[in-house]
A and B are shown apart, each in its own frame.
Chain A
């Protein structure tokens, strides 16, 4: 314990010299190694958001429907009646690259605990995945491991995994992204928070025994990778979904008994962050008796206990008169529950090991005075070239898109996830733009989606982020939902580099602008920085998870079509091809993303939402995004195994590629009942045009080309099956 704090030790803890000096100033003395370790994890980028806090504070976080914004374990929104929805997305990027199966599994476990800690029963999981070039030798195993890890964990706990995205690009070769989102349902009157209260109240530890796994996980997640990073394998935690299921059921059972004052899961930085955060919020002190912490291994030191990231553990402050009941409930579920400490009025964290004081730290300064940086930023010096590409065979281009890793069917992935357990899944992967889950026992449903197009973000992080928000909003609208709020998962490279800091600031600006314009606040989120290996950074990837409400279940819409239905296009098509899939297929990757006109976005969205919820005319709906009208119609055809006949407007007959593959924003395809009179709903504000009908067995652009739908399906299923054979 009396190890001398050397410059090397400070460096190994990822602390800068000035941070170390600040520690000495706060303590008024030199810290011991335990105390230094605690500072290092609490002040790690992962736990303290020191590079982004200044900018995150600018995001809109309030609306009439927001019950709880950022700062708690997860965000909460009101969905009417007694129901509220708890949700958050979190990254597990670094661990998943080192050990894909466990890294991804524990990512799912962690985010579910964040949700049920607040008293909610998780009702849906989603995930947003980014892998390297499929040809990279590591990619295949990473893909297999991550998908199996996510599946095995969620399937065992019995929470349906209902959607997500998967994208391949060489910029993720050595830094994959695994972002997991969880959505839970809670009774508004029974929400649990993490504010510790009541001097003398017992601090209860429950769940897995503490082991040496994951020590310094949070610090690892806050540093760049080098070639030696696989040596960090012992820092990756190991997940046990069975333990998670027991914790989930036992915590929800105890919550129904009015015994819990505060509860927090031991996630990143384990016992340290949970105890400090709870005490800090409640302005109290804590005494912990570390010899009482259930340990998996012998002779673990206080340093290891405080920094371990063993999974499936919770920390609770309970009412003293409910101690017996608490132990009884946990015993029923076969869990270890131990009183490991008490709340005090000292404002200090006092750590005892066998009656000896081994560490003493002021809680407020440590938890709340973490450094906050305004890191310098600068736009990359790059000249954007605007290249045009000549005439291309349209049919061949569409086939190319459908056979590409990023746009072929993800069936291989989502069939490994139990999507129908809990009996409330109405629409899931590849049946709609957003997953639709019934609010249990009601006639309402929530729509959930996650989105990001990093190609747009790379070229223009602000517009790219705006599009990610707008796209999630549109996805919710097209299922018939009213969008309510988002969670954001910001994945970037090293913020100490000016160009990366520029991307971060711009992306946050974009999210801010889009959320304000759409009245679509941010209620929770996560930042993952240092996604770099050997100085190569990932593309900026701000993933947006959106949640909306469908007031009447029967209005939920997916990709459904019926014979002879009319096909309408909502929104103006200009034919923006820069950075589109059309260009990417011919290796043109420069240019600007399309702009979002939020006035139009909002008007078009409201029009579609009204049409879906107020009339019986809409059969199906699909928003337009990457791949434009061409890919959208192909997906509709494949989903229904039905054909369509489409007329390209005269204006575009000399450059049909612009109409078919243009990626202009704020647009939707509507499948409208044959006899429904659309005229009544036409107005001057919203561009709406009939473009064709549902008929036959081919995707047909009349006078241009046609492809039999059964061939589309074959093509779309080909890539994954061959890659993973």
Chain B
């Protein structure tokens, strides 16, 4: 039998997808996650850390920026350097770019409006986080954000491409990637990326909201892949 693995979810004041994520982890991985309060100065042992969606610290100043000053994030940074897998979803992705664990920045949606809808994503590179999907498979997760417009300069973009760091791109159901299937103006339709070491993943769409019978079930494979990588 596998040794019991520890999954942690960091909770900031203003996080609001922590419960959804906790349920998705419990249901799909059979692991009850440790809930880590933002003021925790010492995360002892963990096999993977999630940063959930929401509006940490009310998204004041800029989405995700204040969270980077919290004690728990210092721990996240420390552990990420040691190779611990980190997954940031939505506001979690915003925090990861703000604390420079991931390249680029998440700007206001090009429409300037919050957008909630089911979108299609293409799994453009496979790695540990997406091992359950086929390369270029099209999956459906919901999005719900007002600052998901991914920006990175051209030189960095090339690096991301060359290192296969781009994981998810917004697409049509048939797999066409162009501007009409870009919900927020993200550069090259980018929806999710990893760092160079490929142990930190950030994505705007919500896999935890795509694991139920009445929604898309495509998120289940995301969590299954995570289970496999532990």
Checking B13, B17, B212 against A421 with a beta-carbon cut-off of 8 angstroms, the contacting residue is B17
Q: Is A423 an interface residue, CB under 8 A from the partner? A: yes
**Contact partners of A414 in chain B: CB under 8 A:** 116
Contact residues of B between 193 and 230, Cβ < 8 Å to A: 206, 208-209, 212, 214-215
Q: Bound complex: CA of A418 vs CA of B209, how far in Å?
A: 12
A719 within 8 Å of B (CB atoms): no
Residue on A nearest B57 in the bound complex, by CB: A242
B 135-161 binary contact with A (CB < 8 Å = 1; else 0): 000000010101000000000000000
Contact B116 A156 (CB under 8 A): no
A158 near B13 with CB under 8 A, answer no
Contact A422–B13 (Cβ < 8 Å): no
**B116 A418 Cβ-Cβ under 8 A:** yes
Residue A334 at the chain B interface, CB threshold 8 Å: yes
Are B58 and A242 within 8 A (Cβ)?
A: yes
Closest residue of chain A to B19 (Cβ to Cβ) is A422
* Interface flag for B133 (CB, 8 Å): no
> In B1-53, which residues have CB < 8 Å from any A CB?
13-14, 16-17, 19-20, 23-24, 53
Expressed in whole angstroms, the Cα–Cα distance for A348 and B208 within the complex equals 53
In chain A, what residue has the closest Cβ to B212?
A: A423
Cα-based distance from A407 to B168 in the complex (angstroms): 36
Residues of chain B contacted by A148 (CB below 8 angstroms): 113-114
Count CB-based A-B contacts (< 8 Å): 81
* B144 neighbours in A (Cβ, 8 Å): 155, 418-421
> CB-nearest residue of chain B relative to A144?
B113
- Chain B interface residue bracket vs A: 20 to 34
A151/B114 contact (C-beta < 8 A), A241-B55, A241-B58, A242-B58 known: yes
User: Would A416 and B14 count as touching, CB distance under 8 A?
Assistant: no
Per the bound structure, the CA–CA distance linking A246 and B206 in Å amounts to 23
Instruction: Tell me if A90 is interfacial: C-beta within 8 Å of chain B.
Output: no
- For residue A152, CB closer than 8 A to chain B, the reply is yes
B214 touches A421 (CB 8 A): no
Q: For residue B208, which residues in chain A have a CB less than 8 angstroms away from its CB?
A: 423
A434 at the interface (CB under 8 A from B): no
Report yes or no: A416 in contact with B209, Cβ–Cβ below 8 A. Answer: no
Residue interface bits A150-175, CB-to-B below 8 A is 1, else 0: 01100111100000000000000000
Nearest residue (CB) in B for A158 is: B16
B206: A residues at CB distance < 8 A: 420
Q: Cβ of A156 and Cβ of B14 under 8 Å apart?
A: yes
CB within 8 Å for A423 and B117 given contacts A156-B14, A157-B16, A245-B14: no
Instruction: Kindly report which residue of chain B lies nearest to residue A240, judged by CB atoms.
Output: B58
Verify B20–A155 contact, CB threshold 8 A.
no
Contact B114 A418 (CB under 8 A): yes
Q: How far is the CB of A705 from chain B (nearest CB, A)?
A: 30
Q: How far is the CB of A242 from chain B (nearest CB, A)?
A: 3
Chain A residues numbered 400-453 whose CB sits less than 8 Å from any CB in chain B: 414-423, 426-427
Chain A nearest CB, measured from B107 CB (Å)? 17
Q: How many residues of A contact B (CB 8 A)?
A: 29
CB neighbours of B146 from chain A (8 A): 155
Nearest CB to that of B60 among chain A residues?
Answer: A242
Given A334-B13, A420-B142, A423-B209, A156:B117 Cβ within 8 A: no
Flag whether A373 is at the interface (Cβ < 8 A). no
Q: Is A333 an interface residue (CB 8 A)?
A: yes
Task: Give the distance in Å from the alpha carbon of A434 to the alpha carbon of B113 in the complex.
Answer: 25
Contact A426 B214 (CB under 8 A): yes
Q: What residues of chain B lie closer than 8 Å to A333, measured between beta carbons?
A: 13
B114 contacts which of A155, A246, A422 (Cβ < 8 Å)? A155
Q: Tell me, in angstroms, the Cα distance from A157 to B13 when the chains sit together.
A: 11
Q: A422 contacts B14, CB within 8 Å?
A: no
Would you call A420 and B215 a contact (CB within 8 A)? yes
Provide the A225-252 mask, 1 if CB < 8 A to any CB of B, else 0.
0000000000000001111011000000
Minimum CB–CB distance from B24 to chain A (whole Å) comes to 8
CA distance in complex: A152, B115 (Å): 11
A157 CA / B17 CA spacing, docked (Å) = 10
The 8 Å CB contact of B117, one of A241, A415, A427, is A415
Q: Using CB atoms, name the residue of chain B closest to A445.
A: B214
Chain B min CB distance to A645 (Å): 27
- Complex interface: chain A residues within 8 A of B113 (CB): 148, 415-416
The residue among B16, B55, B60, B208 with the most chain A CB atoms within 10 A of its own CB is B16
Which residues of A have CB within 8 Å of B13?
A: 242, 245-246, 333-334
Once bound together, how far apart are the Cα atoms of A158 and B19, in whole Å?
Answer: 11
Note all chain B residues with C-beta closer than 8 A to A245: 13-14, 16, 55, 58
Give the chain B neighbours of A152 by CB distance below 8 A: 114
- Minimum C-beta distance from A123 to chain B (A): 12
Q: How far is A334 from B39 in the complex, measured between Cα atoms in Å?
A: 12
Residue B192, interface by CB 8 Å: no
Q: Is the CB of A156 within 8 A of B55?
A: yes
Bound Cα distance from A333 to B208, whole angstroms: 26
Select A423's contact among B23, B54, B55, B114, beta carbons within 8 Å.
Answer: B23
Q: Contact check, A419 vs B116: say whether CB atoms are below 8 A apart.
A: yes
A60-B98 Cα distance, complex, nearest whole Å:
55
Shortest distance between the CB of B214 and any CB in chain A (Å): 5
Q: B59 at the A/B interface (Cβ < 8 Å)?
A: yes
| Known A333-B13, A418-B114: A158·B54 in contact at CB below 8 Å | yes
Q: Which residues of A contact B14 (CB under 8 A)?
A: 156, 242, 245-246
B218, chain A: closest CB distance, angstroms: 14
Which residues of A have CB within 8 Å of B215? 420
Q: Which residue of A lies closest to B37 (CB)?
A: A332
Residues 101-125 of B, flagged 1 when their CB comes within 8 A of A and 0 if not, give 0000000000001111100000000
* Smallest Cβ-Cβ distance to B39: which chain A residue: A332
Residue of B at shortest CB range from A250? B13
Q: How far is the CA of A246 from the CA of B13 in the complex (A)?
A: 7
Chain A residues, Cβ within 8 Å of B53:
421
What would be 17 A-B contacts, judged by CB atoms less than 8 Å apart?
Answer: A148-B114, A152-B114, A155-B116, A156-B14, A156-B55, A158-B17, A241-B58, A242-B58, A334-B13, A415-B114, A415-B116, A416-B113, A416-B115, A419-B144, A420-B206, A423-B23, A423-B24
Complex A-B, nearest 9 residue pairs according to Cβ-Cβ distance, in ascending order: A158-B16, A242-B58, A418-B144, A423-B20, A156-B55, A426-B214, A416-B114, A420-B142, A418-B116
New contact pairs (8) apart from A155-B55, A242-B58, A417-B116, CB-CB < 8 Å:
A156-B58, A241-B55, A245-B58, A246-B14, A333-B13, A416-B113, A420-B209, A421-B144
Q: Give chain A's interface residues, CB within 8 Å of chain B.
A: 148, 151-152, 155-158, 240-243, 245-246, 333-334, 414-423, 426-427, 553, 556
